[in-house]
Every structure is written in C-alpha cells, then in structure tokens.
C-alpha cells in the first residue's frame, strides 16, 4: 500500500488542513466571483495628486508578488485573444513608465502588507491611474477604504497560495464589469462545477490507484519536477512549478512550447548524471493544435531516454478556464501529497519568512503607507 493511502497518517501530518482547504476551491471560486460582482467602479476618486477618473482603460496592469499575483498570469492566458487592451502582470516596487490616467491598475496582496505591492500602489496613486484592489485587509485594504478605491475583500487566515481562487476569480469578473470581455463570469462558474466534481476523486480517502494527484506525487517523489506547458497553459505550468517549490519544498522548473524547442531542449544533451534527477510533466489537451501535438511528441521522444520520468497531465472540460484549472487542480493536490510523502509540512514557509524578516528592518511597507497617505485628501 502506498504511504499516501494511510488516510489517518495523512490527516495527522497535514496539521494545518491544507488538503481540506484545497478541496474547497470550487466554493471559493464562486464566493470570490460574487464578491467581485458586488463591487462598483466610481466615476471619480479624489486624491491630493488630483482626481482619478474611471473609464475604459487602454491597458490593465496587475500588480503583486508571489502567490497573490498568480491569478494575473492565469487571467492573461484566459483573455489574451478576447481583451482588446494589453494585460500585464507587474512584480516590482515601481510602476512601468507607460502607466498613467488611462491605465487600470489592480493591486493584489493577500495580506495587504506586501511592500513591493504597496510601493507600486502609491506610485499608481501619484500617477492618477484607475485603481482597484483585491486583499484580505492590511495596509492596502485600509488605504482603499480611506480613498474610496474599489476593493474586493477576501477572507483572511490563509497562505496566499491557498487563496488562489479568491485572488483569481475577481479578476475576470472585474474586466467583464468594465466591458473589456464577455462571458468570463460564466466560465468561472463552469470551472467551479468541474472542480467540485474533481474534488471527489482527489481527496485523501481516494486510494492512489484511483487518485490522479496521489499517483502523480508518487511518480515525482525523489525527482526534480519540470513542467512543460503551451499556449494558455503557460501560466498553469508556472503555477505548478511554484507549488512544487512552496508546498513540496523541492526545486522545480517550467517552460513552454514552442519556445523551449529553440533553447532548453539542448540541455537534454547533457550526460545522464545531470539529466536523470529530473521528471518532466507535459500538459496535454485533446484540442491541442496539430503543430503543438507534433512538438510535444518529438520532445517526449528526445527526453524519454534522459529524464527519470516522463509524465502527462490531461486537461478536462471544454471551456478554456475549465481546461486550465482542471490541470492546475490535479497538480496543486499532487504538490501537497508530495510534501506529505516526503514528510515535510506543506504549510511552512521558513525561507520566505526568513527573507521577509531580514528585509523588515528597511520599513518599506510603512514608507509606502506614508506615501499613499500623503495623497489622501
């Protein structure tokens, strides 16, 4: 019997209840979409820098860090061919030069205290960008309330990566409310229905022989996962890489086709001592384009003799978001099972917490608060 089939041991090891939290993602998606639906954009917000006037944006910049801003990456892949303006994800202290009064800036910080996000938020205020926010509170939530900036408040008490449905689902709804796209809220609802069905097959009570997430975790144990996506699965591949990092506590990497066929593929010519530690996961879709299918098969053939394992994750559903989140869900759950199989706590974030503590002496979050508060009328 697989160690992952000892249900009682799994539950004792998962002391922070992460498996249970991830199995609630379907409900979280719907709740978050409803919270965003209840938000209205004002005609104007007054600041000391001048009025922020809300209208139709010529660009969308989603500002955030880590697990908070992954939803922006998913949004880009979901909407790249339907939203008529650029959608950019920005991870930095400072806003890009083009951001101005016609730019919609959505600041996403689960805690509301992410120093990079707060600094960029204060810059966006000074440039009179149209601003909205998604947060559980903190400094960002307080500033938005004082200024009258639209904010989607989400429940507190989770790690940002656990809160992905809360941080992602408002984004497509907000774009739809601004008239930048149609049908996105419906896709969120359809994806939630699919995840609810999938959760029945991915929980700890389901044995490895019938549980795709446990099966994937078992295959990956003892190897370094590389996730290869394509098209609108690029953000999914990136997110899975981060979950193997954060939850499973293992090195992990990602790339996408066709780009990796022009550079990374050469790395597989290295001696076996360098390539054998890796397992490669190819994301697949029954509707994948013929040219992508041939690239995947050719790359699989090349990698098969070099990597430890070559695996596939197949998308479910018919709509784009269903496909994206179905692959993501299996991989997310696998990252938890891999952590528990390795005897590590998927909740702990020692290295990230250590870096945050060392940087806290700079007081950047408070400096950002002060800059933003100087613009409050």
Residues forming the active site: 246, 262, 356
To 5 degrees, how large is the angle CA 253–CA 117–CA 168?
Answer: 60
CB 61 within 8 A of CB 103: yes
Give the span between the Cα atoms of 269 and 88, in whole angstroms: 35
Give the span between the Cα atoms of 333 and 330, in whole angstroms: 5
Place of tokens 């004002």: 42
User: What one-character DSSP code corresponds to residue 335?
Assistant: H
Task: Please name the helix (run of DSSP H) or strand (run of DSSP E) that holds residue 106, with its range, or none.
Answer: strand 103-109
Task: Please name the helix (run of DSSP H) or strand (run of DSSP E) that holds residue 253, with its range, or none.
Answer: strand 253-257
Give the span between the Cα atoms of 283 and 327, in whole angstroms: 7
- Alpha carbons within 13 A on the beta-carbon side of 154: 31
The residue among 163, 138, 139 whose CA lies nearest residue 35 is: 163
Residue 37: helix, strand or coil by DSSP?
Answer: helix
Residue 362 burial (10 A CB sphere; 0-12, 13-18, 19+): exposed
Largest distance between two CA atoms of the chain = 66
Give the span between the Cα atoms of 101 and 77, in whole angstroms: 25
């Amino acid at each position: 019997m697989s160690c992952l089939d000892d249900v009682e041991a799994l539950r004792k090891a998962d002391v922070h209840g992460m498996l249970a939290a991830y199995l609630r993602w379907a409900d979280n998606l719907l709740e978050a979409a409803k919270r965003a639906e209840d938000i209205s954009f004002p005609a104007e917000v007054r600041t000391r820098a001048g009025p922020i006037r809300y209208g139709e944006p010529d660009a969308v910049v989603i500002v955030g860090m880590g697990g908070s801003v992954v939803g922006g990456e998913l949004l880009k892949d979901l909407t790249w061919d339907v939203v008529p303006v650029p959608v950019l994800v920005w991870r930095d202290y400072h806003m890009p030069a083009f951001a101005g009064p016609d730019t919609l800036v959505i600041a996403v910080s689960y805690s509301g205290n992410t120093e990079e996000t707060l600094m960029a938020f204060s810059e966006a205020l000074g440039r009179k960008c149209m601003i909205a926010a998604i947060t559980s509170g903190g400094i960002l939530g307080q500033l938005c309330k004082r200024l009258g900036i639209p904010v989607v408040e989400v429940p507190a008490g989770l790690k940002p990566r656990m809160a992905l449905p809360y941080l992602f689902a408002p984004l497509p709804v907000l774009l739809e409310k601004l008239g930048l796209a149609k049908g996105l809220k419906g896709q969120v609802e359809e994806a939630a229905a699919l995840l609810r069905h999938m959760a029945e097959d991915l929980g700890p009570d389901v044995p490895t022989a019938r549980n795709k997430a446990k099966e994937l975790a078992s295959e990956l144990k003892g190897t370094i996962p590389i996730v290869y996506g394509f098209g609108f699965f690029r953000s999914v591949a990136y997110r899975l890489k981060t979950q193997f990092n954060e939850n499973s506590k293992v090195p992990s990497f990602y790339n996408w086709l066709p780009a990796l066929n022009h550079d990374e593929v050469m790395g597989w010519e290295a001696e076996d001592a360098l390539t054998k530690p890796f397992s490669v996961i190819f994301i697949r879709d029954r509707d994948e384009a013929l040219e992508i299918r041939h690239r995947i098969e050719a790359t699989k053939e090349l990698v098969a003799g070099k990597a430890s394992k070559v695996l596939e994750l197949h998308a479910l559903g018919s709509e784009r978001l269903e496909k994206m989140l179905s692959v993501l869900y299996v991989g997310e759950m696998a990252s938890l099972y891999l952590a528990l199989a390795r005897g590590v706590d998927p909740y702990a974030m020692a290295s990230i917490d250590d870096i945050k503590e060392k940087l806290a002496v700079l007081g950047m979050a408070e400096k950002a608060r002060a800059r933003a508060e100087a613009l409050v009328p």
